[in-house]
A and B are shown apart, each in its own frame.
Chain A
Amino acid sequence: MKNITYKILIFSLLSFMSFTVYGQDKARMEPVFGVEWGGATTILERYHRNFMAEAGYRVDEKGSVMSLKTTGSLTAKAGIRFNDHYTATVNTGIMGVRQQRSAVPITARFSYSFKNYEQNGLMCFLEAGAIYPNRYYANFITESGLGYRIGLSHRFSLDFMLTFRVCADERKITDPDTGADVDIWNIKKNNSTFFATGYKIAINF
């Protein structure tokens, strides 16, 4: 992921955080932790690949593919509950991006409860961050969702969420003539964006 994307992302998150923290009663802030799991089905993949074929001509492919592929995710989260409505957490764990491709996500999430945190009611969240398919590079991910929170006690709550995820990644490119993998220095562009919808269940404590 380019540096400029990181800067925009960090700036957006800090702006949102400053907005939510502004004017809040610090005495009511509490740490919050949780585990979360779910499944997501990729519904659309948009791709743009530009590479030099072994025969010497340049290939430029753009398009969209509709495919229903299911992957799972398991994450842990830690953060701060600012007041009865706003919560900010950092999430990490393991998630499936696409077929036989998993990654480690590190994301920041802001969630809003329409009722008090301890009461039953609707909630929504917005999340953005990076996924690491391996340790050498990162890709962008953003996710939003709407759900229902069941307040179990002062500390515990249970969330059932429907989510929509947009995630960038890249695919292995094969030569159209030989079928062999294209060398990395012959690839000018290799972008894929995956749009997925799914569900998540979270236990907060």
Chain B
Amino acid sequence: MNFRRVHFLTFCMAALFTVLSMGESRAQTTIGTVHSPKGFGLSIESNKTTDYHHITSFSVIVDMMDVWSDKRASVGTKGTYTHNIVIKRGVVDKVVDWEFYAGPGLTGGYARDAGKDYGLIAGITGCSGARFKFPNRVVISMDFNLDICCFATKSSRNGVYNMAFYDAGLTHCFYPQIKISYALR
């Protein structure tokens, strides 16, 4: 697998999603960064009310499996798309709007699993979290993601792909993911 090609494809998807989400009428688009023990990266969210209030999110992260602990030096890449439904909304501190959301999504990428080498990841994800929107257009959200994915590694002996369960998707689901974003409108 060409590592540069995976990076290029993921960022193309992010750019496409940005253009599409900004083109939607009445949608509020936010662009920001993602911070987590799992990794860090970029996030684009589109907040819209149709029949129900929802937040569509796309994030690309640099997967830091075993890098923070300095066991390894090279990183992976992962992209996640989620369609979150706002369950509850409110106002805190008189000016800060908050929303509690949860929803399903898709995830994929090229990264390592715990104790394994690089492989392709593909599967579904579940997300739940809270989002705070401040008067100066800064949006901070914290969510948890549960990834149920398959993990395909290429065997160095015969070149055949071996399929396995992506363990880190379950074991790292308690790692919080904080997004710091700016609302474009």
Contact = CB atoms under 8 A, between A and B. Distances in A.
A150 B69 contact: no
Interface string B35-72: 10100000000000000000000000000100111110
A96 B68 contact: yes
B69 to A, nearest CB: 6
Interface residues of A, number: 22
Interface string A98-115: 111010000000000000
Main secondary structure of the interface of A (DSSP, over half): strand
A96 B134 contact: no
Nearest to B136: A152
A74 interface: yes
11 contacts: A70-B67, A72-B37, A72-B68, A98-B70, A100-B71, A152-B140, A154-B93, A155-B93, A158-B180, A201-B35, A201-B180
Size range of the chain B interface in the assembly: 10 to 19
A39 B68 contact: yes
A149 to B, nearest CB: 12
Interface in A136-152: 150-152
Interface string B145-185: 00000000000000000000000000000000010100000
Given A152-B134, A155-B93, A158-B140, A99 B70 contact: yes
Contacts of B93: 153-156
Q: Which 8 A-B pairs have the closest CB atoms?
A: A72-B68, A152-B134, A99-B70, A153-B93, A69-B70, A155-B93, A153-B96, A153-B95
Given A71-B69, A96-B69, A153-B93, 7 more contacts: A39-B68, A70-B68, A70-B70, A102-B69, A150-B136, A151-B136, A156-B140
A111 B156 CA distance: 53
A98 B69 CA distance: 8
A71 B136 contact: no
Contacts of B140: 152, 156, 158, 203
B96 to A, nearest CB: 5
Contacts of A96: 68-70
A197 B66 CA distance: 20
B144 interface: no
A37 interface: yes
Interface in B101-128: none
B138 interface: yes
B100 interface: no
B75 to A, nearest CB: 11
